[in-house]
Amino acid sequence: MAAGFSLLETIAAILLLALAFGAVMHVAGAATGLTGHARELNRIAMLADTTMDAMGHREPLREGTATGAYDARYRWRTVVTAQDPLPGQAPDLHVYRIDLDIAWRGGGAARVAHFATLRVQDEPRPASTTSVAGP
């Protein structure tokens, strides 16, 4: 009886090794694609967080729609709507719903991420006509 492997056994082993290597490469490629997708969604979430945080700070919230672009790839659209007051709600507090859509092209297709939040804002008080300083 001869020791060692036959040509058929060697070819079968190489074929199995090639199939296993192909499967590993497929999994590695899919993981790389998912990492890129997760990175893109993380960027979208950071843009949304920055936009939502800025709303109502520079100027009071007003009902309406606004649009703009972060850069050549990402566009945004906000819709601000006043919410009906809740029973017992202070009359000088107003609740606004802010809807934010961020649109971009990813993987050859148009994509949109939607974010929404509620924001409470004091009613702007009129300026006082009396002076607290002396004459």
Q: What whole-number distance in Å separates Cα of residue 125 and Cα of residue 133?
A: 20
Write out pLDDT tens, residues 60-114.
889 999 999 999 999 999 999 998 887 887 777 888 999 999 999 877 889 999 9
Higher-pLDDT residue of 58, 6: 6
Residue linked to tokens 């192909």: 22
Strands 93-106, 109-122: pairing is antiparallel
29: tokens are 């490629």
Predicted confidence (pLDDT) at residue 135 exceeds the cutoff of 70: no
pTM of the model: 0.66
pLDDT score recorded for residue 46? 96
Note the Cα 135 to chain centre separation in Å: 56
pLDDT in tens, 28-60: 888 887 788 889 999 999 999 999 999 888 888
Cβ–Cβ under 8 Å, residues 124 and 93: no
Please determine, for residue 1, whether its predicted confidence score (pLDDT) is greater than 70: no
Q: pLDDT value at position 134?
A: 46
Lowest mean pLDDT among 16-20, 85-89, 126-130: 126-130
SS3 93: strand
- Residue given tokens 């993987």 in the structure block: 107
User: Higher-confidence residue: 64 or 122?
Assistant: 64
Residue with tokens 């802010």: 98
Please name the amino acid found at residue 9.
Answer: E
91 vs 63, 94, 114, 120, 122, CA distance in Å? 18, 8, 30, 12, 9
